[in-house]
Amino acid sequence: MAATLESPKVTLTKNLINGEWCDADSGRTFEAFNPATGDVIAHVAEGEAGDIDRAVKSAREALENGPWSKFSARDRGRCLFKLADLVMQHADELAALEVLNNGKPIREVSFADVPLVAETFRYYGGWADKWTGDTIPVDRTLGNFFCYTKREPVGVCGQIIPWNFPMLMAAWKWGPALACGNTVVLKPAEQTPLTALKLAELATEAGFPPGVINVVNGFGELAGDALVKHPGVDKIGFTGEYKTAQIIMRNAADTLKRTSFELGGKSPAVVFADADLDEAVAGAMTGIFFNQGEVCCAGSRLFVEDSIHDEFLSRFKAAAESHKVGNPFDKSTQQGAQVSKEQYDKVLRYIDIGKNEDKATCVAGGAAHGDKGWFVKPTIFADVRNDMRIAQEEIFGPVASVLRFKDMNDVVKQANTTMYGLAAAVWTKDITKAFAIADGVRAGTVWVNCYNTFDPAAPFGGFKFSGSGRENGKDAMELYSEVKTVWVNLGER
Ligand code: NAI
Ligand code: MG
């Protein structure tokens, strides 16, 4: 059957090591699925410690001796610009592969994921030759010195990413790492290996020399673990669950690797009585149902002021019930399938906890959708208290909790009563209230009268258990470079 946008042909299933596509050393493969049908769509090379070792050595060689080591910063920028162009030239193919393997709607991938990937590469291409050091005015008591700083790459970067934005997470990791002159070994999520492989192929075409970008597929406990422990890796950049980050932090300690973490959330979205209710409902919808709720910064705890609670809830319920769930290749679909059977089961388990253990009131959804694939209905719980499990634990699915609040002190306190601190939002027309939330909530991003807006120039990351370090923006350049201070004795004259 010819490849179509609805059934893209999967051509890349091997690992990319030192510029060559290779099977796993063991010869083993694992299955990749289409979440909308549950069908197997590919058998992908299953890397382990040996494959990781070869990839790390190739990244080290490229860093120290390969052509990359002689690239000027501007040359690195040019490769990133070219990669951005190639992403847009292959936009349809990338979008179709992402939908096929992740289950998210084509409309969103084409509107958000693909252009953001290209913009991320372009943005960091721009940084490459503008990432300068300083001249430092040191004291003359000890002599006549010229002191300056320069930025050098951290080295070989191990990058471990999740399955909710497979392509975009690869771009967030590669953009700053490559702009700074590092080499990378990427370990995609085992659920969604396909688009990173396509991006790696495009990167080769864009002019990144062999060994600069390596991709090794496989499971976290084997390939991911080997990457974290490898003495030849200088830094680990990770996005995923905080429990995995804790393991990585411990394992990275022996070799004192640099680490940066972008983890989960239970983000509060606060709706004041003076808010534009239509906008607030639309924002709440985007906040929790975008990407099937598989979003680290999902607005999963909605705090609604007492006096408008019932009106808000009835409008939110109506919107959720008319949200179109189904075939992610259909352009009118608003919510696709959960990424895996495991995640689908987890979300349904939390819906059960909400109903039977927490005894909250399920006002919309509350069940699987259809009888094929891993779809869950947009679900809303009301009468939720902040100490319930559904208000504290990350569900990572289309499940909203609606809570009430009385006044500013009450809502700030409740909003901050969580282990997480990734994002927060507020809907109000009162600037004083907006700033009180923006200042009072401990979270890495605060959205005022909006939700889920992203730009490669705007830093993103978490307080508390939501991570450390910031991706995007200039901050990510800091994550991927070391500062070197040079003292030059000029002699007395
Ligand atoms: P995970 O954190 O285990 O997986 C993310 C990545 O880490 C994958 O590439 C995986 O192979 C790798 N990994 C797993 N164990 C590893 C280890 N011991 N050493 C090195 N790498 C390892 O997340 P998982 O299990 O897929 O999802 C569980 C929950 O985590 C989700 O239900 C969700 O609540 C949360 N999550 C949060 C994400 C976010 O964006 N903050 C993304 C994905 C999951
Ligand atoms: Mg896991």
Provide the residue-wise pLDDT of the chain in tens; the chain has 493 residues.
445 677 799 999 999 999 999 999 999 999 999 999 999 999 999 999 999 999 999 999 999 999 999 999 999 999 999 999 999 999 999 999 999 999 999 999 999 999 999 999 999 999 999 999 999 999 999 899 999 999 999 999 999 999 999 999 999 999 999 999 999 999 999 999 999 999 999 999 999 999 999 999 999 999 999 999 999 999 999 999 999 999 999 999 999 999 999 999 999 999 999 999 999 999 999 999 999 999 999 999 999 999 999 999 999 999 999 999 999 999 999 999 999 999 999 999 999 999 999 999 999 999 999 999 999 999 999 999 999 999 999 999 999 999 999 999 999 999 999 999 999 999 999 999 999 999 999 999 999 999 999 999 999 999 999 999 999 999 999 999 999 999 999 998 8
Ligand 1 pocket list (CB less than 6 A):
160-162, 164, 187, 189-190, 219-221, 224-225, 228, 239-241, 244, 247-248, 263-264, 296, 343, 346, 394, 396
Q: How far apart are CA 218 and CA 239, in angstroms?
A: 16
Instruction: Please tell me what DSSP assigns to residue 69.
Output: G
- Choice among 79, 180, 296, 297 that is catalytic: 296
Closest CA to 182 of 110, 113, 245, 260: 260
Q: Are 178 and 126 in contact (CB under 8 A)?
A: no
* Distance from Cα 465 to the centre of ligand 1, integer Å: 14
The DSSP secondary structure of 9-33, one letter per residue, reads -----SEEETTEEE--TT--EEEEE
Q: Rounded to two decimals, what is the model's pTM?
A: 0.98
* Distance from Cα 245 to the centre of ligand 1, integer Å: 8
CA 50 to chain CA centroid, nearest Å:
27
Q: What pLDDT, on the 0 to 100 scale, is given for residue 492?
A: 87
Q: Which ligand is nearest to the CA of 244?
A: 1
With b for 16 or more beta-carbon neighbours within 10 A and e for fewer, the 28-64 pattern comes to ebbebbbbbeeeebbebbbbbeebbbbbbbbbbbbbe
Q: What pLDDT, on the 0 to 100 scale, is given for residue 1?
A: 43
Question: Which mutation among 101, 160, 349, 454 tests ligand 1's pocket best, with the greatest number of atoms within 8 A of CB?
Answer: 160
**Atom of ligand 1 at shortest distance to CA of 343?**
32
Q: How far apart are CA 70 and CA 315, in angstroms?
A: 59
Q: What pLDDT, on the 0 to 100 scale, is given for residue 3?
A: 59
* Distance from Cα 240 to the centre of ligand 1, integer Å: 4
In the structure encoding, which two tokens stand for residue 17, read together?
């090591």
Element (H, E) at 223: none
Look at residue 137 and give its three-state secondary structure: coil
Is 296 an active-site residue? Answer: yes
* Distance from Cα 410 to the centre of ligand 2, integer Å: 35
Element (H, E) at 145: strand 145-153
Q: Which ligand is nearest to the CA of 189?
A: 1
* Distance from Cα 379 to the centre of ligand 1, integer Å: 24
- In sign, the C-alpha dihedral spanning 31, 44, 60, 261 is negative
* Distance from Cα 317 to the centre of ligand 2, integer Å: 32
Look at residue 491 and give its three-state secondary structure: coil
- Choice among 108, 190, 262, 478 that is catalytic: 262
Question: Which mutation among 222, 244, 300 tests ligand 1's pocket best, with the greatest number of atoms within 8 A of CB?
Answer: 244
**Protein residue whose Cα sits closest to atom 32 of ligand 1:** 396
Q: How far apart are CA 152 and CA 470, in angstroms?
A: 19
